[in-house]
């Protein structure tokens, strides 16, 4: 089968022929129709991710059709249009993944290939309202945003929500989910075009985080936020407690712009603010997200579609977020 293989840190993705994976008894083989990239894939290629190993077929997100089933798997799964849940061994606790949890695309070979093998319980039905390319955009960014917003942030109708860095894969899902939940959504972004795009998608307004005193401008216009979703950290994170309402939840899952800056603790305890870390999502989060996407007929923002042959070109688009909005997808077959 054709696959995009990563041989080492800062190496280009190489397209080559590799063996189709052999199935264990509890696994299925998926013929991939589409895959999508996450910042995780980019960090892995840069060598800035825990547990690196090479060679590896990266890619946590995929959608396709079940081609074959292992001995202990219901044969009726064959032919099923599937979206793959990227995590193996989440475990029994909804609050956190088990120590044995691992992700597709590192340490296990992932979805930048014509076929991938996963455990049968990682197969979910493709949402009926989406194409395979749209479906492949969902898994990591979608469920991370869903869990951050609803499971951790407890977002409900009428809440005031702030999403920082809306143009990213996860940020654009958080926007769509919060709008669909009938929250009042505000956003930040590096560009006025992206702010306009978010407003067209239902956000009430936004500010450019590159402006001086962007937080003051935002609170003057919008007031205070019940839920704040962030994946940037860096200096801007220090402003978020000031923007949070009493009882507000600040939920974060990434550090695109750096690490945690020094924080003023006083507004955090005085306003009874919770700062919550989150990662990925449980199988229940994943199932709930898929149902929500169908119910609300949400179609992901796709920034660009490449062929598998152009996997390296596709991942290079993640070197800068300038001009991008939403996910980068690979069309496979
Ligand atoms: N823990 C998890 O499970 C998990 C899951 C998914 C993602 N993540 C992490 O979350 C981050 C986003 O992932 P992604 O796949 O959505 O990446 P992405 O598509 O590359 O998005 C990155 C976005 O970050 C925003 N950004 C950059 N600098 C910023 C700043 N100083 N302040 C606010 N926003 C800023 C930009 O928004 P604009 O374009 O609007 O300027 C950019 O589009 C990454 O660090 C990733 O590793 C973690």
Q: For residue 97, name the pLDDT band (cuts at 50, 70, 90).
A: very high
Closest CA to 307 of 126, 31, 114, 142: 114
Per-residue DSSP letter, 21: P
pLDDT tens digits, residue range 155-192? 999 999 999 999 999 999 999 999 999 999 999 999 99
Q: 42 in a domain, yes or no?
A: yes
Q: 208 in a domain, yes or no?
A: yes
- pLDDT above 90 for 331: yes
Q: 289 in a domain, yes or no?
A: no
Q: Indicate whether 269 and 314 sit together in one domain.
A: no
Ligand 1 mean position to 254 CA, how many Å?
7
Q: Indicate whether 151 and 130 sit together in one domain.
A: no
- Our count of domains for the chain comes to 2
Q: Does ligand 1 have an atom closer than 6 angstroms to the CB of 234?
A: yes
Q: 191 in a domain, yes or no?
A: yes
Q: How far apart are CA 229 and CA 97, in angstroms?
A: 20
Q: Indicate whether 37 and 152 sit together in one domain.
A: no
Q: Does ligand 1 have an atom closer than 6 angstroms to the CB of 189?
A: yes
256: number of Cβ within 10 Å: 17
What the block records as the tokens of 167 is 């143009």
Please give the backbone phi and psi of residue 300, each rounded to the nearest 5 degrees, phi first.
-60, 150
User: For a substitution probing ligand 1, which of 43, 165, 230 has the most ligand atoms within 8 Å of its CB?
Assistant: 165
Q: Average model confidence (pLDDT) for the chain? A: 98
Q: 282 in a domain, yes or no?
A: no
Q: Indicate whether 124 and 150 sit together in one domain.
A: no
Q: 295 in a domain, yes or no?
A: no
Q: 284 in a domain, yes or no?
A: no
Query: For residue 219, what is the domain's CATH number?
Result: 3.40.50.720
What the block records as the tokens of 96 is 């956190």
Q: Indicate whether 32 and 125 sit together in one domain.
A: yes
Q: Indicate whether 158 and 119 sit together in one domain.
A: no
Local structure of 271: helix, strand or coil: coil
pLDDT tens digits, residue range 107-150? 999 999 999 999 999 999 999 999 999 999 999 999 999 999 99
Q: For residue 261, name the pLDDT band (cuts at 50, 70, 90).
A: very high
Nearest-atom number in ligand 1 for the CA of 258 is: 31
> Is this structure's pTM higher than 0.75?
yes
Q: Indicate whether 131 and 146 sit together in one domain.
A: no
pLDDT recorded at residue 220:
98
Q: How far apart are CA 133 and CA 35, in angstroms?
A: 7
pLDDT recorded at residue 172:
98
Q: 294 in a domain, yes or no?
A: no
Q: How far apart are CA 81 and CA 79, in angstroms?
A: 6
pLDDT recorded at residue 133:
98
Closest CA to 285 of 109, 128, 140, 133: 140
What contacts 96, CB < 8 A, 6 or more positions away? none
How far, CA to CA in Å, does 270 sit from each of 74, 245, 262, 316? 55, 11, 17, 44
16: number of Cβ within 10 Å: 11
Q: Indicate whether 308 and 266 sit together in one domain.
A: no
Mean pLDDT across 276-291: 98
How far, CA to CA in Å, does 220 sit from each of 215, 217, 225, 240, 243? 9, 5, 12, 14, 10
pLDDT tens digits, residue range 247-260? 999 999 999 999 99
pLDDT recorded at residue 168:
95
76: number of Cβ within 10 Å: 9
Q: Indicate whether 150 and 241 sit together in one domain.
A: yes
Give me the domain span that covers residue 71.
2-138+300-331
Q: Does ligand 1 have an atom closer than 6 angstroms to the CB of 29?
A: no
| Torsion over CA: 173, 175, 179, 184 (sign) | positive
Nearest-atom number in ligand 1 for the CA of 43 is: 47
Nearest-atom number in ligand 1 for the CA of 141 is: 6
- pLDDT above 90 for 333: no
Q: How far apart are CA 123 and CA 30, in angstroms?
A: 9
Query: For residue 51, what is the domain's CATH number?
Result: 3.90.180.10
Q: Indicate whether 134 and 155 sit together in one domain.
A: no
Q: Indicate whether 175 and 110 sit together in one domain.
A: no
Q: Does ligand 1 have an atom closer than 6 angstroms to the CB of 169?
A: yes
Q: Indicate whether 206 and 222 sit together in one domain.
A: yes
């Amino acid at each position: 089968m054709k696959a995009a293989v990563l041989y080492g840190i800062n190496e280009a993705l190489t397209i080559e022929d590799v063996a189709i994976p052999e199935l264990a008894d509890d696994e299925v083989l998926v013929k991939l129709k589409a895959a999508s990239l996450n910042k995780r894939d980019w960090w892995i290629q840069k060598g800035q991710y825990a547990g690196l190993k090479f060679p590896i077929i990266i890619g946590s997100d995929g959608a396709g059709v079940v081609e074959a089933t292992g001995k202990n798997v219901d044969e009726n799964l064959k032919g099923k249009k599937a979206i793959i849940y990227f995590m193996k061994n989440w475990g029994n606790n909804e609050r956190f993944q088990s120590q044995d949890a691992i992700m597709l695309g590192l340490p296990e070979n992932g979805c930048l290939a014509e076929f991938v093998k996963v455990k049968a319980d990682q197969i979910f039905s493709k949402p009926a309202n989406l194409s395979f390319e749209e479906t492949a955009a969902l898994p990591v960014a979608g469920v991370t945003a869903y869990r951050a917003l609803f499971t951790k942030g407890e977002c409900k109708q009428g809440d005031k929500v702030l999403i920082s860095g809306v143009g990213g894969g996860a940020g654009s899902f958080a926007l769509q989910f919060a709008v669909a939940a009938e929250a009042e959504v505000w956003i930040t972004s590096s560009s006025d075009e992206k702010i306009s795009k978010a407003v067209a998608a239902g956000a009430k307004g936004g500010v450019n985080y590159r402006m001086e005193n962007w937080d003051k401008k935002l609170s003057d216009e919008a007031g205070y936020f019940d839920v704040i979703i962030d994946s940037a950290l860096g200096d801007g994170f220090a402003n978020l407690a000031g923007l949070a309402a009493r009882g507000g939840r600040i939920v974060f899952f990434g550090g695109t712009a750096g690490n945690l800056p020094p924080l003023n603790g006083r507004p955090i305890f005085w306003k009874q603010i919770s700062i919550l870390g989150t990662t990925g999502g449980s199988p229940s989060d994943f199932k709930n997200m898929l149902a929500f996407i169908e119910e609300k007929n949400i179609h992901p923002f796709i920034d660009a579609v490449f062929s598998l042959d152009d996997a390296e070109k596709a991942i290079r688009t993640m070197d800068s977020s300038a001009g991008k909005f939403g996910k980068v997808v690979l069309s496979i077959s």
